[in-house]
Amino acid sequence: MNAVKKIVVLSAYHDYRTAKRASIHQVARALANLGHDVSFISMRFSHLSRWKGDSRLALADRSNRIEMVDGIKCYLWRTLLHPFASSKASINAMMGAFFEIYAQTPNKTVDQLLSNADYVIIESSVAAIFVRRIHRLNPQAHIVYYATDLLDTVGAHPFVQRQLEKDGALIGHVSMRSPRMMNDFKWAGPRRYRAEFGVDVTEFSEVGATPYNTPCNVVSVGSMLFDPSFFQTVAPVFPEITFHVIGCGMKFSSPDNVIIYDEMRFRDTLAYLKYATIGVAPYRPAPGTEYLAESSLKLAQFEYFGLPSVCPDFAVGANTARVGYQVNDRDSMCKSLSRALKMVGKVRPRQFQSWEDVAARVLKPQDYPDTAILS
């Protein structure tokens, strides 16, 4: 076994303790399983978070102190306010200065964890503004930028992208979900690597009984770029199908055959995936979304269970298990679902690496030839 490393994971959207599970949670847990000393710092959380319905609100009373969960030091950094991106140009123009101030906001616990780290893994997000601070506190730390999404696609403030490129030389390497992202990281040159999906086979096999009481069920999980119009358009045309929308982050008017669920534990979503008839990834368009064809975790999970899936054309890629549609085109949406219904039982389940395999590649990709991205 390799020597134990002190690793800090920095995220602006996720806390390790929430019900929501993204790949950053899985990587952190896998690193801890590999024997490393892992800390998970969740930032950009304040009184403003209540306005956005932040998934971390239940942890507010446990903020600003370290809590051990699954052998991981968890820390939710709560401040009075935090910077954000706005649809109003005038607010965005002023917000750039706020991001600079926020990046320098004192916090002894955060700085101590960063100062002692061998590796700091920054999830693709506002956390990128901390690169310079990390390097100042700990010049020897190897900084990893874990690019699960592009900043423009998730609507990050322009300051974040500018700062990331400005401080790019301080980053040891970039681990990106898809080679389709590579042009956005030209500044990283040969320091660009690929980090694919992982699966906890035990977790995916112990899902229990079906949660469905109807014969035909279409399921969607997650809130990223969620487009409710898919269900509002398609569900009335297919009254014999029950549509299950889990953790989309909003309430919306819909037909009676659409069931909307609050966010639930990742483990609890797996039964809905395993026993579904079809999966749907109803992404709305955004800049650079083509990389979702290779980076979408929900689409990968559908593949693992051998489900045909429906998604916008830009997320299909070369995958034959997916049926694409044109966003805002009623006829195209309905035809995609009809085509997917004909594929039920004909999709071969896809195998994935373990999350431990993925985590090892995120940490030291140069040790694994399959992570290389040929430019």
Q: Catalytic residue positions?
A: 149
Residues linked to residue 121 through DSSP beta bridges, in sequence order:
9, 144
One-character DSSP codes across 142-208: EEEEEESS-TTTTT--HHHHHHHHHTGGG-SEEEES-GGGGGGGGGGGGGEEE---B--HHHHH---
CA 24 to each of CA 8, 13, 14, 175, 188: distance values in angstroms, whole numbers, following the listed order: 12, 10, 8, 12, 21
Dihedral sign (CA 182, 183, 185, 191):
positive
How far apart CA 77 and CA 12 sit, in angstroms, is 10
Alpha helices in the chain (DSSP H): 23-33, 49-52, 89-103, 108-115, 131-137, 158-166, 201-205, 229-234, 266-274, 292-295, 297-304, 330-342, 355-363
Structure token digits, residue 153: 């696609």
CA distances from 102 to 82, 108, 118, 232 (A): 7, 14, 24, 40
Pairing of strands 67-69, 72-78: antiparallel
* DSSP-derived 3-state class of residue 123: strand
Residues 6+ apart with CB under 8 A from 370: 194, 361
Which DSSP category does 223 fall into? -
